[in-house]
Amino acid sequence: MKNIVITTITSLLTTISMIFIIQFFAKGLGPEEFGAYSLARRVISNIAPLIILSMDVALSRYIAMTHEKKLQSSYIVSSIILTGIAITLLLAVAISSSKHLSHLIFHSNQYLKLYYACLFLLGGYTIFIITYASLLGMQKIKKANLLQLCLMAIIPLMISYVFASTKSSSFIMFLIGLAFYLSIFPLILIIKKTELPRLNDVRSSFKVLLKYGLPRAPAGFFLAGLLTLGPFLAGYFEGLKEAGFFFIGQSVFKIMEAAIVAFGLVALPKISQLLAEKKEDFLKTKIEDILIMIFQLGLFITIHTFIWSKEIILVWLGSEYQGVVPIMKIIILSLGPYLAYVLLRSIVDAVEVRAINTMNLALSLLSAAVISIFLVYVGFGLIGLATGTTIGFSILGVMTSLYLMRRYLISFKNFMFRWVFLLNILFAGTIIVIKNYIISSFHQYELLIIGFIIESILFLCYLYFFYKKDSRWILELKKRIFVQTQ
């Protein structure tokens, strides 16, 4: 609980920082240049998994499963060798075909500097991932969170505030990439504190990481592809400005993800330890609680974010980005399934050696791509792209949940479908009536503040109802929080 709370706070601070970073860049760069920057970030997220080779998961998992410093060190050295080979191959291809690939991504030759800045950032990001995963695997949660806070929140926030007005997305990308290279210093300290690995251990751990990580590498690529598909096709069919709109519309995923991503980061090494101790029955109970919690809370969060989406965009970025609103409304419909995937993917990776997430993501991406392209060609434009993305993420969340339900023989009897749907209809109707009544009486900022207060009251009532209904996940959460704080 302590580690999850610390990691959650870090994620929330990182997300708050991201909100301001997007705001500074969107207003400072302007819609066109911001669109190019947004598309570049999506392309980076798409390429990064092919370089990292799932070391963020594999390294954390296997370091957590051993307490021998020589083995831990061998895993770290092996991950450096693996990612080093991958990034060398990527750079060889990317630099030799730089003009063609740059034009393919940005549909223009004027963003070649931004293309090279992306390649520079990828090297630093790889070092950061290895360092971060090593700290998580060693259960050094505070140090891992401090590293994330500095490199993912504080430094990018300072860069966005100071340099957004330069209107140079390539220079900004270079500075953010330079910050990631700072993670090499804690990585050196980690290696120095572990024992020098034997050559046989390095060979053995190299094979283990490759066997576990390589089948999972496409998973990160496919997930990034689901997020990149919309902006890329928007840039191709519409323009870079529309690609930026799509990027902002998807940002709701990352904002909401902040509150729950900590669970997966902390859970992966812990669940790996529980599996090594043969505690399958204990895991089944907890996984059932998580699935019920996702359903009960996910529906509430999705509905109420949808209701307030227009006000959020207008307050956050201004009327210049009002075109984002219809895109965001559609994408929000898949928020619940996406959050389910974020919560459950680490559990799937921990309990299953097979790359289940990779297969689910491949099918989701294929479905999203086919539907998106079809809807664009029949004339739905950005709305069609948003619809395709929403369907893709919905398939992903459902497939991930059903896999765990089948594996642990979890039934639907404890999900309380009737009460969940009735309460959400009641609360959604209440907030719509209140919003329509007060919308003309307050400015946008005031409206959001009042809305937040009302939503908080409704959310607490929602939780209290399921607490009185003896929903086990709430009772367990209460027991853990109050027992550990007394």
DSSP codes joined into one string, 123-150: HHHHHHHHHHHHHHHTT-HHHHHHHHHI
- Residue 269: the pLDDT is 55
Residue 427: name the closest of 339, 340, 306 by CA: 306
Angle at 250 between CA 246 and CA 255, to 5 degrees: 145
Whether 349 and 429 map to the same domain: the answer is no
Angle at 146 between CA 143 and CA 151, to 5 degrees: 125
State the residue range of the domain holding 435: 417-470
Whether 228 and 112 map to the same domain: the answer is yes
Q: Is 109 exposed, middle or buried (0-12, 13-18, 19+ CB in 10 A)?
A: exposed
Look up residue 484 and give its two tokens: 């550990």
Angle at 161 between CA 155 and CA 166, to 5 degrees: 110
How many CB atoms are closer than 10 A to CB 196? 12
Please report the sign of the dihedral spanned by the C-alpha atoms of residue 135, residue 136, residue 138, residue 140: positive
DSSP state of 154: I
Q: In tens digits, what is the pLDDT along the chain, a chain of 486 residues?
A: 566 667 767 777 887 888 888 888 888 888 778 888 888 887 887 788 878 887 877 788 788 777 677 777 888 888 888 888 988 998 898 888 888 888 887 877 788 888 899 899 999 999 999 998 888 878 788 888 889 889 988 999 999 888 888 888 889 999 999 999 999 998 888 877 766 767 777 788 888 888 877 777 777 778 877 877 877 787 766 766 777 777 777 777 766 666 555 555 555 556 656 665 666 677 777 788 888 888 888 899 889 988 888 888 877 777 777 777 888 888 888 888 888 888 888 778 777 777 788 889 999 999 999 998 899 888 888 888 889 989 999 999 999 999 988 888 888 888 888 999 999 999 999 999 888 888 777 777 778 788 888 989 999 999 899 888 888 877 776 666 554 444
**Three-state SS string across 403-443, please?**
HHHHHCCCCCCCCCHHHHHHHHHHHHHHHHHHHHHHCCCCC
Dist. CA 304–CA 428, nearest whole Å:
7
Residue-wise over 458-472: b if at least 16 C-beta within 10 A, else e?
A: beeebbebbeeeebe
Dist. CA 47–CA 220, nearest whole Å:
9
Whether 371 and 422 map to the same domain: the answer is no
Helix/strand/coil for 195? coil
Whether 405 and 452 map to the same domain: the answer is no
Contact 342, 389 (CB under 8 A): no
Whether 47 and 75 map to the same domain: the answer is yes
Whether 206 and 145 map to the same domain: the answer is yes
Contact 270, 69 (CB under 8 A): no
Contact 175, 120 (CB under 8 A): no
Whether 345 and 445 map to the same domain: the answer is no
- Residue 33: the pLDDT is 81
- Residue 486: the pLDDT is 43
Contact 391, 367 (CB under 8 A): yes
Whether 260 and 372 map to the same domain: the answer is yes
Dist. CA 101–CA 95, nearest whole Å:
9
DSSP state of 373: H
Whether 330 and 277 map to the same domain: the answer is yes
- In sequence order, the 6+-apart residues with CB closer than 8 A to the CB of 75 are 59, 62, 63, 137, 205, 208, 209
Whether 352 and 425 map to the same domain: the answer is no
How many CB atoms are closer than 10 A to CB 341? 27
Dist. CA 342–CA 385, nearest whole Å:
22
Whether 253 and 391 map to the same domain: the answer is yes
Dist. CA 429–CA 175, nearest whole Å:
47
- Residue 484: the pLDDT is 47
Distinct helix (H) and strand (E) counts, the chain? 21, 0
Dist. CA 208–CA 78, nearest whole Å:
10
Dist. CA 377–CA 264, nearest whole Å:
38
CA 377 to chain centre: 30
Look up residue 219 and give its two tokens: 């998973």
- Give the DSSP per-residue string, 303-359: HHHHHHHHHHHHHHH-GGGTTHHHHHHHHHTTHHHHHHHHHHHHHHHHH-SS-HHHH
- Residue 424: the pLDDT is 93
Please report the sign of the dihedral spanned by the C-alpha atoms of residue 142, residue 146, residue 149, residue 151: negative
Which pTM value belongs to this model? 0.69
How many CB atoms are closer than 10 A to CB 17? 19
Quote the number of domains for the chain. Answer: 2
Whether 378 and 455 map to the same domain: the answer is no
Residue 177: name the closest of 82, 54, 48 by CA: 48
How many CB atoms are closer than 10 A to CB 428? 17
Q: Which amino acid is at 171?
A: F
Helix/strand/coil for 66? coil
- Residue 174: the pLDDT is 93
| Look-up of token digits 């909401």 | 256
